[in-house]
């Protein structure tokens, strides 16, 4: 297919038209030219291909596929080869179903433990997130299927996700929030990037030429397609100018007409439209070459099991309680042992083709439910659990975040595990001190019982083979090799952004001090630090040395079990430029038999020491490089510079104030307010309803519609209902105008009425109606 020739045969209108989807999952075909439409489907921990009714919230059935562990789990593997295999397996399943692009991986930074979508993301550290994403992309694209890296950029909260503005200084943006994308793009070369719903420093990501062209294409060399998140296009004209190519799930007629007019009036260059249309067709061309071979689902199930086992993090293991003897008498306690929580809710929800729970896999263990699906318990349930635990040598209690607490579309309210589950763990460990807690969930939780429970095994959301993996780990058939990819604070209040996270506009007051960068530097004790994880074996580090810009370290398995170790390289500066106490600059996963040694290697480059200061610069001075318990110092000679940072950032302690943030930004930063009289099309029904009864009425209509149909009988705490309400009533009126099919004059009239201009509102409705 000669794309340039095809473009020369299309009218301007046709070129604009192919830059938006035909429907929720397809590009538009050009039938007269014999060009089919290309299919897309959600990921990232499996394939969510819908054949009948499509939706972005994971409600309607998808084809059965392998449900791998979600990113929160696989990130703990720190294993690029594993991520590559998973990407490849999902790619094979996609190719077998004729899907040309899988929407993933998600590489947003885990800024705060309450973000509802943290389970889909890898880490609080940009290097780890970027490298793992790159590996996944390489695996996927080896099958011919394009990966779509998302959500670009600074999309680290679900709260008001369609309206939110992420406000931060450029150093924070570059060093933390863009680095993961930069690494994944340079090392993974994804076919597509998905621009996020939010604004970045006041500009919609879909409108930002700086983000989508200057940084993404010109600086990082990205040559693929930019796709909007579903419904994220703000303006078709600005989108073309920015380099935002494909509007999904479809275009909006009036916006496309405006774009056509703008080309005729020469305020939009036709070359921008051509460039986007060319990139859409290049993707279609790639999708046309896919080979439709069946995927080996059994092999993928085995891979999902290996991934869950190798990613599991042994948080605690006093007196080597684990592994257990296969012949031991064990009590298995907890609703989740029967209904394992394997993944999160929302667009990434996979329909697993095979699924076992722990009760089926371990039928010899005596079972007690302990708590109900919603995490609540009763005295009777506790009594039964206690009795079952007392009659066994060991108790294994499976607890975790429930479906209702953790989902795309909204954030968690608290870091506390349900009261019923906490109560259960405390009662069981009192009845039987040989208790192992198996913890599930996509984000850290507070663990008031952590000191009294001898062993804690964190599985994250382990996918369809999770139960088998847990069983293999408990009995030592495999050895937990996972290390935490995020810090686990003692309590939510210890998290730097706890006092101001969860507002409509996300003010990144803490700057670069995210996760361990904050806890280490501000000396805040955590429950489990970034990188923590125990093993059934032990490792020794020695011979750390630098040779020709490569750091080497020898690692030996000095225990009795085969196992894997993740060597991590941290760089700590000794100069005065403000920066975290230490930063991860490399990692290396090794699998070692007892007595075996291997060498971890880390490439050291300027970037290992650099900070962003109108470009990457290396502050001169001494640096300590540490790997395990080994360290060495290196000196970097470079022109000194003294950035003028405000006091809190030089020595972070306690929490930054709004004034600290304004000092960092070098300008006034307004808190966003929603005021009757100045509501605009950028406000949502949800936020205006408290102040206007017209909007309250509109909200009631939306709510009634959402609570009907397939949701009839559900309550508002159901994750699907919450997500749908947030999507329908939480979008801006402008977004509603584009995506809901509601007539513009109705929305504009209602907006005027909500602002108190009743007569004008009625006039607008009548005039436009006519």
Distance CA 477, CA 676 (A): 63
CA 439 to chain CA mean position, Å? 20
Instruction: Single out the residue of 331, 405, 413, 400 nearest to residue 364, CA to CA.
Output: 331
Q: How far is the CB of 56 from ligand BGC (least distance, A)?
A: 4
Q: Supply angle C-alpha 308, 431, 532, rounded to 5.
A: 35
Q: Site mask, ligand BGC, residues 44-63, x = CB under 6 A?
A: ------------x-------
Q: Kindly identify the residues of this chain, within the stretch 140-199, that bind ligand BGC according to CB under 6 A.
A: 150
Q: How far is the CB of 30 from ligand BGC (least distance, A)?
A: 24
Report residue 34: phi and psi, to 5°: 70, 25
The encoded tokens of residue 322 equal 């684990």
Nearer Cβ to ligand BGC (42/79): 42
Under 8 Å CB-to-CB from 674, ≥6 apart: which residues? 683, 687, 688, 691
Distance CA 625, CA 608 (A): 10
Q: How far is the CB of 104 from ligand BGC (least distance, A)?
A: 7
Distance CA 150, CA 153 (A): 8
CB contact at 8 A, 151 and 196: yes
Nearer Cβ to ligand BGC (42/169): 42
- How is the chain split among helix, strand and coil, in percent rounded to 5? 35, 20, 45
Sign of CA dihedral 420, 423, 425, 431: negative
The encoded tokens of residue 310 equal 């190798």
CA 240 to chain CA mean position, Å? 27
Distance CA 695, CA 712 (A): 23
Q: How far is the CB of 155 from ligand BGC (least distance, A)?
A: 8
Distance CA 576, CA 573 (A): 8
Q: How far is the CB of 60 from ligand BGC (least distance, A)?
A: 11
Distance CA 509, CA 521 (A): 16
Sign of CA dihedral 608, 612, 616, 622: negative
Nearer Cβ to ligand BGC (48/423): 48
Nearer Cβ to ligand BGC (103/474): 103
Burial of 677 per CB tally in 10 Å (0-12, 13-18, 19+)? exposed
End-to-end CA distance of the chain: 47
Instruction: Single out the residue of 654, 680, 670 nearest to residue 751, CA to CA.
Output: 680
Distance CA 69, CA 344 (A): 10
Q: Kindly identify the residues of this chain, within the stretch 343-402, that bind ligand BGC according to CB under 6 A.
A: 347
Nearer Cβ to ligand BGC (198/537): 198
For tokens 């006093």, name the residue. Answer: 318
Q: Kindly identify the residues of this chain, within the stretch 202-241, that bind ligand BGC according to CB under 6 A.
A: 229-230
Q: How far is the CB of 103 from ligand BGC (least distance, A)?
A: 4
Which of 30, 71, 99, 103 forms a contact with ligand BGC (CB under 6 A)?
103
Nearer Cβ to ligand BGC (56/456): 56
Nearer Cβ to ligand BGC (148/263): 148
Distance CA 28, CA 296 (A): 31
Note whether 26 binds ligand BGC by CB under 6 A: no
Q: How far is the CB of 558 from ligand BGC (least distance, A)?
A: 44
Under 8 Å CB-to-CB from 240, ≥6 apart: which residues? 19, 259, 268, 272, 273, 276
Nearer Cβ to ligand BGC (42/660): 42
Q: How far is the CB of 728 from ligand BGC (least distance, A)?
A: 12
Tell me the site size for ligand BGC, rule CB under 6 A: 7
Q: How far is the CB of 211 from ligand BGC (least distance, A)?
A: 17
Distance CA 481, CA 565 (A): 6
- Three-state SS at 144: coil
CB contact at 8 A, 23 and 249: yes
CB contact at 8 A, 226 and 192: yes
Nearer Cβ to ligand BGC (229/411): 229
Which of 21, 30, 37, 42 forms a contact with ligand BGC (CB under 6 A)?
42
Q: How far is the CB of 495 from ligand BGC (least distance, A)?
A: 24
Nearer Cβ to ligand BGC (49/316): 49
Residues in the chain, total: 770
Alpha helices in 631-756 (DSSP H): 647-650, 658-665, 685-688, 693-707, 719-729, 733-739, 744-754
As annotated, the active-site residues are 229
Q: How far is the CB of 531 from ligand BGC (least distance, A)?
A: 28
The encoded tokens of residue 672 equal 């966003």
Nearer Cβ to ligand BGC (33/51): 51
- 146 forms beta bridges with 101
Under 8 Å CB-to-CB from 366, ≥6 apart: which residues? 329, 330, 331, 332, 388, 391, 392
Q: How far is the CB of 260 from ligand BGC (least distance, A)?
A: 27
Q: How far is the CB of 54 from ligand BGC (least distance, A)?
A: 8
Nearer Cβ to ligand BGC (301/412): 412
Instruction: Single out the residue of 33, 35, 139, 151 nearest to residue 95, CA to CA.
Output: 139
Nearer Cβ to ligand BGC (7/24): 24
* Bond before 655 cis per omega within 30 degrees: no
Distance CA 241, CA 230 (A): 19
| Site for ligand BGC, rule CB under 6 A | 42, 56, 103, 150, 229-230, 347
């Amino acid at each position: 297919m000669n794309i340039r020739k095809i473009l020369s045969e299309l009218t301007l209108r046709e070129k604009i038209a192919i830059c938006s989807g035909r429907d929720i999952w397809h590009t538009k075909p050009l039938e007269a030219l014999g060009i089919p439409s290309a299919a897309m489907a959600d990921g990232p921990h499996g394939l969510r291909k819908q054949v009948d009714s499509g939706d972005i919230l994971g409600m309607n059935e998808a084809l059965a596929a392998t449900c791998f562990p979600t990113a929160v789990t696989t990130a703990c593997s720190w294993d690029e080869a594993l991520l590559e295999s998973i990407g490849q397996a999902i790619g094979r399943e996609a190719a077998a179903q004729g899907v040309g692009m899988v929407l993933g991986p998600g590489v947003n930074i885990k800024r705060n433990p309450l973000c509802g979508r943290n389970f889909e993301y890898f880490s609080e550290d940009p290097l780890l997130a970027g490298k793992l994403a790159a590996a996944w992309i390489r695996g996927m694209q080896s099958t011919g299927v394009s990966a779509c890296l998302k959500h670009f950029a600074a999309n680290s909260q679900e709260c008001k996700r369609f309206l939110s503005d992420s406000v931060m200084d450029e150093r924070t943006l570059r060093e933390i929030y863009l680095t993961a994308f930069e690494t994944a793009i340079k090392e993974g070369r994804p076919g597509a990037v998905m621009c996020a719903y939010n604004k970045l420093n006041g500009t919609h990501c879909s409108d930002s030429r700086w983000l989508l062209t200057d940084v993404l294409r010109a600086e990082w060399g990205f040559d693929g397609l930019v796709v909007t998140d579903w419904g994220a296009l703000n303006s078709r004209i600005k989108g073309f100018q920015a380099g935002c190519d494909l509007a999904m799930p479809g275009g909006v007629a009036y916006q496309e007409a405006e774009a056509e007019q703008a080309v005729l009036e020469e305020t939009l260059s036709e070359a921008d439209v051509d460039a986007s249309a060319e990139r859409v067709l290049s993707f279609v061309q790639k999708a046309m070459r896919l080979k439709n071979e069946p995927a080996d689902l059994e092999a993928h199930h085995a891979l999902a099991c290996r991934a869950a086992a190798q990613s599991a993090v042994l948080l605690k293991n006093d007196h080597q309680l684990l592994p257990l003897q296969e012949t031991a008498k064990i009590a298995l306690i907890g609703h989740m042992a029967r209904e394992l929580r394997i993944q999160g809710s929302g667009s990434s929800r996979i329909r697993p083709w095979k699924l076992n729970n722990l009760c089926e896999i371990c039928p010899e263990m005596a079972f007690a439910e302990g708590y109900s699906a919603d995490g609540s318990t009763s005295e009777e349930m506790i009594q039964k659990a206690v009795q079952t635990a007392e009659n066994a040598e060991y108790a294994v209690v499976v607890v975790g975040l429930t479906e209702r607490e953790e989902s795309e579309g909204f954030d968690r309210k608290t870091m506390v595990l349900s009261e019923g589950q906490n109560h259960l763990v405390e009662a069981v460990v009192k009845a039987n001190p040989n208790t192992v807690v198996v913890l599930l969930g996509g984000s850290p939780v507070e663990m008031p019982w952590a000191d009294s429970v001898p062993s804690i095994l964190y599985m994250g959301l382990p996918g369809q083979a999770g139960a088998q993996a847990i069983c293999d780990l408990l009995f030592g058939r495999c050895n937990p090799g996972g290390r935490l990819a995020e810090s686990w604070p003692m309590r939510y209040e210890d998290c730097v952004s706890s006092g101001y996270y969860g507002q409509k506009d996300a003010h990144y007051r803490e700057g670069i001090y995210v996760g361990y960068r904050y806890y280490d530097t501000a000396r805040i004790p955590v429950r489990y630090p970034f990188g923590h994880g125990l093993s059934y074996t032990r490792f020794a580090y020695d011979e750390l040395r630098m040779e020709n810009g490569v750091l080497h370290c020898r690692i030996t398995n000095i225990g009795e079990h085969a196992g894997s170790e993740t060597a991590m390289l941290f760089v700590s500066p000794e100069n005065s430029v403000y920066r975290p106490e230490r930063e991860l600059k490399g990692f290396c996963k090794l699998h070692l038999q007892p007595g075996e040694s291997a060498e971890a290697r880390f490439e050291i480059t300027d970037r290992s020491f650099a900070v962003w200061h109108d470009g990457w610069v290396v502050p001169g001075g001494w640096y300590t490089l540490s790997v395990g318990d080994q360290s060495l110092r290196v000196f970097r000679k470079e022109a000194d510079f003294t950035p003028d940072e405000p006091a809190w950032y030089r020595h972070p302690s306690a929490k930054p104030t709004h004034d600290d943030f304004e000092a960092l930004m070098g300008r006034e930063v307004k808190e966003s307010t929603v005021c009757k009289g100045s509501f605009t099309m950028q406000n949502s029904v949800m936020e205006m309803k408290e102040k206007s009864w017209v909007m309250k009425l509109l909200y009631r209509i939306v709510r009634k519609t959402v609570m009907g149909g397939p949701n009839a009988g559900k309550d508002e705490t159901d994750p699907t209902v919450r997500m749908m309400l947030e999507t329908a009533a939480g979008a801006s009126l402008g977004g509603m105008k584009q995506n809901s099919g509601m007539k513009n004059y109705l929305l504009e009239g209602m907006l005027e009425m909500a602002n108190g201009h009743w007569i004008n509102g009625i006039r607008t409705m009548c005039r436009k109606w006519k």
